[in-house]
Amino acid sequence: VVLLNAGMSRELGLDWEGLTETELAEVLSGRRLPPGADPIAQAYAGHQFGGFSLLGDGRAILLGEQVTPTGQRYDLQWKGSGPTPYSRRGDGRAALGPMLREYLISEAMHALRVPTTRSLAVLTTGDLVFREGPLPGALLIRVAASHLRVGTFQLLLAQQDNDTLRQLADYTIARHDPDLVDHEAKHLEFLRRVISRQARLIAQWQQLGFVHGVMNTDNMALSGETIDYGPCAFLDRYDPATVFSSIDHGGRYAYGNQPSIGLWNLSRFAETLLPLLDPVQERAIELATDALKQYAPQFEQALLTGFRRKMGLQTEHPDDPQLVQGLLDAMQESRADLTNTFAGLADPDNWDPDWGQHPPLQGWQTRWIARLEREGSNRQKAQDRLRQANPQIIPRNERVEEALQAAVSTGDLGPVERLLAALADPYTPSALHAPYRNSSPSGSCYRTFCGT
């Protein structure tokens, strides 16, 4: 057992007290299954970079569900568990680096208050997996509200199995939106809920500079959680064209494209529900289209609300969209760091020594201070609000890689553990943050790979 999430264990109601280290490893690895467990690999389909494919869990096994002491239901999934019927000639295994990476990033996203799958544990297997060379094998236990995806529904649409599609939709509604079970238009309302969840989620990504990297339809969870941390990364310098994934040659999933890709994916989901929305196809299309039209205004509202909060504003003003866009434009022109720029609003002496070198940022700052004064506030009065809304640190790409390299090459988990400790409370100023505050020297030249 390399990492064990004690907080997640408590939340799930899992008590490891009394187990030896060997017994704990056997339970967490799935070698000792709970009574009645019947692990499965899930089938699904999906548009990958725009092309449709039949897919499935190629190296993951769903052990089952855990109901927490508060009554919340979670999936427990083993990643790197070995070959499945959907492995497509792959070995079904996972390497230690990518599994540690998902643990780090998913737990950081949780601390950043973004809906996300969680990580319960990482274990080494004792085996080698062969990628660019031999690497230590590992397992990750992923915790999710469910693993139901847009691609899950796309599979049944492709199979033209409307009866099973209805069963799946009704099950998903009962699991994620139980208040809709008896609604007379439950499938339409369910579509609207999924649209709203994704609009809010992607707005949060944009505020933090999170670049998912592989927004295929099979990686859009109907729960509204961020799922699949393979080629993801965070912006340092603000640039909407930023792409980190080594396989995204056309920039389809660039940071600035994420909102429109969200709508594209939701349109594919709406297509799967057409048989359930209305027996007359033209009417079903009209209902779905009207629902999809709500995505853009909901996303824009969530984004504006979030940026108001990040600017310490408590009231609304018609000029606020221009104020937000003005800062984004100034950051891009000045090649400013997204996270540090916002953190510097609360602590200018500590965070933005270069503001004077960037006239666009200086000009924007004057407008922002005037906006605070318009609502009877100022920078000092807004300081606590600003600190609560703007993280001091994020998982800096190269700091993450340095920690993973130490774990994989020398077995030293210290850098991973220190980074996890710093990321656990990103909003409260702490000495733990100091090594992770600065931008990566390579900036947008950083590249990620689909290791998870």
Query: What are the residue numbers of the active site?
Result: 218
Residues 102 and 230: their CA atoms lie apart, in Å, by 7
**CA 316 to each of CA 286, 306, 349, 380: distance values in angstroms, whole numbers, following the listed order:** 34, 12, 28, 20
DSSP string, 142-186: EEES---BHHHHHHHHHTT-HHHHHHHHHHHHHHH-GGGTT-TTH
Residues 57 and 254: their CA atoms lie apart, in Å, by 25
Residues 308 and 28: their CA atoms lie apart, in Å, by 43
Nearest to 435 by CA among 448, 410, 418: 418
The residue type found at 443 is G
Tally of residues, the chain: 452
First to last CA, the chain: 18
Angle at 163 between CA 160 and CA 169, to 5 degrees: 100
Nearest to 107 by CA among 220, 99, 136: 99
Pairing of strands 233-234, 134-144: unpaired
Q: Give the position of tokens 């009554």.
A: 71
Residues 449 and 135: their CA atoms lie apart, in Å, by 15
| CA 37 to mean position of chain CA atoms | 28
Residues 348 and 379: their CA atoms lie apart, in Å, by 10
Q: Give the position of tokens 């944009």.
A: 206
